[in-house]
Amino acid sequence: MARAAAKVPATEVGESTERVLQILSESARLFATNGYDGTSMRDIAEACGISKSLLYHHFADKDEIFARIALGSTRELYHFVFDRLPEGATPSERIRAFMVATGEYFQRYRWAWLASTSAFWNDPEQRRQKERLMWRDRYEGLIRTLIQQAIDAGELRPLDVPLAGRLVLSALNWMHRWYKPEQGLPASQIADAYFDMIFRGLKAD
């Protein structure tokens, strides 16, 4: 229940949800451009083309908007990816699915992704910061588990599992620094190509 209430990328899209998503999206963009301190509730209202009173109808203050973006996006990433791991597939195929799903998430909720990985702002509240890190750790734990399972199944060679997990996450996480949504491959296809490179290696057969 609590989870559904704080969900960022809503699945049911009504008039009000659309509005909330617009507010979160514009806020994330403004925070990323001007910083948390450099963004006011007035700026957010103006960017959304709505009155300040309508903005306050949805959110008590800037901090509530921040928390919703930051926590929601990290938790959602985990669930989004987890839900897309095919049951009964081989461990390697599940690693591929993990990567492709992360690319898909990145593509669909790019603003939330930028907000959650952005180094622009740190959450002033220790407790929320911890909760975000907990979800980030679960996400990282998931790829490590998949890699370990693939090694156990003899599909991957014996590896430094945390480091191999970091290699996978680095490729995915760095996309936000260069990816242009309007040109080139969709992020999910890039993630798929990365899987192929990392799994098979770059060297000639």
> Which residues contact a second copy by CB under 8 A?
35, 37-38, 92, 118-120, 147, 150, 154-157, 159-160, 163-164, 166-167, 169-171, 173-175, 177-178, 190, 193-194, 197-205
Who contacts 77 (Cβ-Cβ below 8 Å, separation ≥6)? 102, 105, 113, 116, 135, 139
Tell me how far CA of residue 136 lies from CA of 10, 73, 154, 157, 173, in angstroms.
Answer: 20, 10, 28, 26, 12
Q: Which is nearer to a second copy, 19 or 138 (CB)?
A: 138
Q: Which is nearer to a second copy, 35 or 86 (CB)?
A: 35
Nearest distance in Å: CB 190, a second copy: 7
Nearest distance in Å: CB 185, a second copy: 8
Fill in the DSSP letter of residue 21.
H
Q: Which is nearer to a second copy, 55 or 69 (CB)?
A: 69
Who contacts 18 (Cβ-Cβ below 8 Å, separation ≥6)? none
Identity of the residue numbered 8: V
Q: Which is nearer to a second copy, 15 or 203 (CB)?
A: 203
Nearest distance in Å: CB 72, a second copy: 21
